[in-house]
Chains A and B, each alone.
Chain A
């Protein structure tokens, strides 16, 4: 620890925080410290940050346009001009993978933004209120859960028509039920806790209890679960792309790229392998971060 950071560290670790935001910073710092003690989690985080960086700065990073065809240089093996080779239309694979990061990242972001609130609210309401509301909500949830997620997504995309947006909606539809189940289980154990009873004894409305006291306490495990599900989301998106039901050509979606690469598997291994490795790396990174987050956010560690 350098001398410069001493003041900040002291501020972050003092026993007597001076304001609400100070206390909140300390809390974040504590979670970060626990997260940082997990080298695999840090490795995963680095990969994700790299992905975000690439997605933002790809116009300057990519050596070629992802769409520009060069039919004189099709299926070129990796070399100094094309670091990861070219595909059957002579497009630079590295550039396409870099541009594809935007698609992957937006799928992940949009799905999480749709899935987390739906799962959280459905689960918390079902768990807290119980009774017939619980029964109805959980039967609906189980209806979705009873299909393998790829099959369900396939059915939705088939009904809605193949496109990236429809793929995202389809994936979101398959991803909220596990979140709802998790949130329900947490709410069930929370609703009889004394601190919830204490709020009820203040005359708080049920809505206030669910939104203000139950749901926030379920958020950490939902975050962890969604992070761990990211890999599944990416793979489902890739799967849909592979089957031609997600992003449509010529968009550089990784799954679709693997799908094209399949045809040239034996002669030009790099066409399918490079996007495949990208999918693998990013899925793995999200899994590692999810595991590390689970440990860092677990209040039992305190």
Chain B
């Protein structure tokens, strides 16, 4: 699956994407001329610090942020002008803060049924149960409200909701940065499992090099609205970065991050 990635047609292809916020004197370019391609079934990372424009790219793809691009093809369709219901069936997003991303006064079941109603999904109930099962949520939680769930459970609900339309692509906007480390591990595992089961393509935004290194095959490093470089994660972590900014980012992540020495021989516990 992974090997023929490079030869196949990319499922997301973006060239010279520009996103501008504000008008006149306040005009500010959040993303200025970004190009990349993501292949079917892979996890592509967008790494950068706050304000680098990485999340804005996801919002631009979905149409939540107004944008211009030379090429923006997603799942075989040109999405520069209009995104039909078909687009939203194929592309779904998982947000950073799962509490913010769920309707505060809808039950879990209603959160799942809402996309089914809007997109006229057949067998909504069966799919809802299947989605809950595949994210590992008990049916006992069906009638609870988001505030009655833990952070990890909320994020599972958000993922289940995104799965309702059986999408090809999931846009992951820092899906674990609001969660505890132990819960993060569960969610990352879940994302990997779902990818294996359903052949999903992930475009994942994160500030955490550890998470990106764990999840992604390739990643783009972003800084101040542009992609500094795009490289294999293997190269990224093994000193293959060529740009100063990337090196600085890695050095800073490692300085007070994991210690490469004691990790070199993982302890058998």
Binding site for B on A (CB under 8 A): 15-20, 22-23, 27, 193-195, 197-204, 208, 213, 216-217, 299, 302
Name B147-164 residues within 8 Å CB distance of A: 147-148, 158, 161
Contacts of A213 in B (CB 8 A): 103
Residues 86-145 (chain B) with a chain A CB within 8 angstroms: 87-89, 91-93, 95-97, 100-105, 107, 109-110, 114-115, 118-119, 140-141, 143-145
Residues of B within 8 A of A20 (CB): 107, 109-110, 143
A23:B118 contact, CB within 8 angstroms: no
Assess whether B62 is interfacial by the CB under 8 Å rule. yes
Q: List 7 A-B contacts (CB under 8 A).
A: A16-B143, A17-B144, A194-B96, A200-B64, A203-B84, A208-B118, A299-B147
In the bound complex, how far is the Cα of B100 from the Cα of A27, in angstroms?
19
CB-CB under 8 A for A195 and B143, given A20-B110, A201-B62, A208-B118: no
Contacts of A18 in B (CB 8 A): 143
Cβ-closest 8 pairs across A and B: A203-B88, A17-B143, A23-B143, A194-B101, A194-B100, A203-B85, A202-B115, A194-B95
A255 to B4, CA, bound (A): 84
Query: How many residues of chain B get a CB closer than 8 Å to chain A's CBs?
Result: 38
Point out the residues of chain A lying under 8 angstroms from B107, CB to CB.
Answer: 20, 23
- Could you tell me the distance between the alpha carbons of A195 and B158 in the complex, rounded to whole angstroms? 10
CB pair B104–A23 under 8 Å, yes or no, is: no
In the assembled complex, how far is the CB of residue A34 from the closest CB belonging to chain B, in whole angstroms?
A: 14
Q: When the two chains form the complex, which single residue of B95, B97, B114 contacts A199, counting CB atoms closer than 8 Å?
A: B114
- Compute how far the CA of A199 lies from the CA of B96 in the bound complex, rounded to whole angstroms: 16
Residues on A with beta carbons closer than 8 Å to the beta carbon of B103: 195, 199, 213
Q: How far is the CB of B214 from chain A (nearest CB, A)?
A: 24
Residues of A within 8 A of B119 (CB): 202-203
CB-based contact B145/A27 at 8 Å: yes
Name the contact of A198 in the complex, choosing from B59, B84, B95 (C-beta under 8 A): B95
CA A202 – CA B59 in complex, angstroms?
A: 14
- Name the B residues within 8 Å of A302 (CB-CB): 147
Residue of A nearest to B164 (CB): A202
- In the docked arrangement, what's the CA distance between A27 and B85, Å? 34
- A18 CA / B140 CA spacing, docked (Å): 8
Min Cβ gap B176→A in Å is: 15
B13 CB → nearest A CB, Å: 20
| Structural contact, A195 and B100, CB atoms closer than 8 A | yes
Which of the residues A195, A201, A216 comes within 8 Å of B102, measured between beta carbons? A195
Given A197-B95, A202-B114, A202-B118, A16-B144 contact (CB < 8 Å): yes
Question: Who on chain A is nearest to B158 by CB?
Answer: A198
Q: Contact check: which of A27, A194, A204, A216 meets B118 at CB < 8 Å? A: A204
Q: How far is the CA of A20 from the CA of B110 in the complex (A)?
A: 9
Whether A198 lies near B101 (C-beta < 8 A) is yes
Which of A15, A16, A198, A217 touches B105 (beta carbons < 8 Å)?
Answer: A217
Q: Which residues of B contact A15 (CB under 8 A)?
A: 144, 148
Q: How far is the CB of A201 from chain B (nearest CB, A)?
A: 5
CB-CB under 8 A from A17, the residues of chain B are 143-144
Cα distance A27–B107 in the bound complex, in angstroms: 11
Q: Find chain A residues with CB under 8 A from B87 CB.
A: 203
Name which residue of chain B comes closest to A195, CB basis: B103
Output the nearest chain B residue to A193 by Cβ-Cβ distance.
Answer: B100
Asked whether, in the complex, the Cβ of A203 is within 8 Å of the Cβ of B97, the reply is: no
Residues of A close to B95: CB separation below 8 A? 194, 197-198
Out of B92, B96, B141, B145, name the residue touching A201 (CB < 8 Å).
B92
Q: How far is the CB of B188 from chain A (nearest CB, A)?
A: 20
Determine the chain B residues whose CB is within 8 A of the CB of A208 once the complex forms: 118
Q: Which residues of A contact B105 (CB under 8 A)?
A: 27, 216-217, 299
Specify which of A197, A203, A299 lies most central, judged by the most chain B CB atoms within 10 Å of its CB.
A203
* 8 more A-B residue pairs beyond the given contacts A23-B144, A198-B158, with a C-beta to C-beta distance below 8 A: A15-B144, A23-B143, A27-B105, A194-B95, A197-B101, A199-B114, A201-B62, A202-B165
CB distance A198 to B161 under 8 Å? yes
Contacts of A201 in B (CB 8 A): 62, 64, 88, 91-93
- Shortest C-beta distance, B117 to chain A (Å), equals 9
Contact: A16 with B140, CB < 8 Å? yes
